[in-house]
Amino acid sequence: MDIHWTHLPLINMLQIYGPSTQHTSGIEYDSREVQYQSAFFCIIGEETDGHIYIEEAIQNGASTVVGSDKAQIESYVHAYPYVTFLLVHDSREALAHVAVEFNFHACDELIKIGVTGTNGKTTVATYVRDLFNLVGIPCGMLGTNGIYTSTEKLSIKKSTPTTPMSSDLQTVFNLLVTSGDKAASMEVSSIALDQHRVSGFEFDVAIHTNFSEEHMEYHKTLDHYKMSKLKLFKQSKASVINLDDFGMGQDILQVVQKPFLTYSKNVDSSAHLIWTNIQHQSDGMSFDLLYKGESHRISVPIFGEYNVANLVSAIGAALLIGVSLEDILFALPKMQQVDGRFQVIHGPESRKIVLDYAHTPVALDAIMKAVRKLPHNRLITLIAGIGIRDFAKMPKMAKTAEGKAEVIVVTVDHPGNNNPWVVVDAVLSGFEEPFLQEVHTAPSRKEAVIKALEVSQPGDIVLLTSGCINGCQIVRGEHIPHSDEQIINDFFSKTTLSV
């Protein structure tokens, strides 16, 4: 398409050099992906600066270069007079707005539900997709577990673990529209908000799950983390807010001026949606939902009391876009488990293997309390330090798990460039009384999963937690395929498992 660069005021252009219009075949932030007549955006990251790849991008065919470093931009202007060079305030923000234009504003054709919070984003985003599809609104999803249309998982390489880069995000929106979907449910991370990955459009509903310390390796301060998350609610038409979250709930109420619904488990709260009287069954849970002065008994095939909160937030989103409560109640018994989120696999001899990739102390505490309510003999829990995340969090994982399981296996997820044993030792340092349980260690997640299964006995629960995401382990820059489910199936190869 032809892009008239001077006609895009939202990109916050400071100066233009060269032709003001270019035929543009694609928009790229990786110089290696640039092809003939691509527009190349110089993104400044934590480890590299896109401006140093301008020459490579031009040699690969870039007809437009967008950057924020004036000296770097001007150093190429005279050598390449046929290339358009744009000096902008922020390349990431410019990329987001151009991506919307390049994809013909496909995002405007979708109902967009954004989910943010320290824990629960994947579960809530999945519940939203599932519920919307069940009530007749074809809904795709973008998040940690992958990218989906309303009917299938797409084989798209993700640019980031949670929220895609803005150009990739808008491409996915375009694909969803082309496939006939009417809505998109997506996880929105604090880092994505800070990096303008979701700039350029407005969400229809923003959902708040909870707030606790996370991503300090990026944000450095808790205030910056919170302020980043609050941005979502400032660019949303409506909001669903967790009144039980003292970390950020009240902060959101102070910034939202538009329609919102609150939810809580406290019957004495003033929340719009309240749940109570939870009962556990072998096939899920039931609870009472209070809304507009009426009580509704609900049975759902999901596990974990904290997942009731996640489900109620999805219900709130459906209500805010105009779905009737009657249609919602009819759909709820058909909800499905979320992969890797309190996902129960039944093993031989009454073993239960629970996959829940809780990777924060708060989430770990919640899942360990929840699984203990299932019938079992012993609880064997795998915990891990995430090598590509904040080392200060690692000891807190051991401290949280201590004394809550008969056996704890300590390992590493995504060691990155770290020695795996350094990460394991960082986790182990959090035990104050390690003798309270049997402790094993392993230098890789695969070995740790096998160890947890090996020490299990009939009637035990094996809980596999932490941040194994995107079907891989990141080791020294290499993405090595990994599947807990495959390891489990291989281990019990002579036994048929049911999920």
For residues 369 and 46, which has the higher predicted lDDT (pLDDT)?
369
Q: What pLDDT is recorded for position 468?
A: 63
Burial of 477 (0-12, 13-18, 19+ CB in 10 A): exposed
CA neighbor of 189 nearest in space, from 148, 156, 158: 158
pLDDT value of residue 497: 44
**Mean pLDDT, the chain, as a whole number?**
92
Is pLDDT of 95 > 90? yes
- Of 211-215, 218-222, 437-441, the range with the highest mean pLDDT is 437-441
List b or e across 145-157, with b for residues whose CB sees 16 or more CB atoms inside 10 angstroms.
Answer: bbbbbbeeeeeee
DSSP string, 96-134: HHHHHHHTTTGGGGSEEEEEE-SS-HHHHHHHHHHHHHH
Q: What is the pLDDT of residue 486?
A: 92
- Whether residue 124 is predicted with pLDDT greater than 90 in this model: the reply is yes
Domains in the chain: boundaries: 2-101, 104-334, 343-491
Long-range contact pairs involving 326-334 (C-beta distance under 8 Å, separation at least 24): 327/135, 327/136, 328/131, 328/135, 329/296, 329/298, 331/131, 331/134, 331/135, 332/131, 332/298, 332/299, 332/300, 333/299, 333/300, 333/301, 334/134
Distance CA 49, CA 31 (A): 11
Tokens of 376: 């079992």
DSSP state of 333: G
H or E segment and range at residue 13: strand 13-17
The pLDDT assigned to 293 comes to 93
pLDDT, tens digit, for every residue of 217-264? Answer: 677 788 888 888 999 999 999 999 999 998 898 999 999 988 999 999
Please tell me the CATH superfamily of domain 343-491, with its number: Mur ligase, C-terminal domain (3.90.190.20)
pTM of the model: 0.84
Kindly indicate the confidence band of residue 402, based on its pLDDT and cuts at 50, 70 and 90: very high
pLDDT band at 338 (very low <50, low <70, confident <90, very high): confident
pLDDT, one tens digit per residue, over 145-175 is: 889 999 999 988 766 768 899 999 999 999 9
Task: Write down the residue that tokens 């899942």 correspond to.
Answer: 367
Fold of domain 2-101 = 3.40.1390
Tens of pLDDT, residues 348-395: 999 999 999 888 898 899 899 989 988 899 999 999 998 877 788 899
Homologous superfamily in CATH for domain 104-334: Mur-like, catalytic domain (3.40.1190.10)
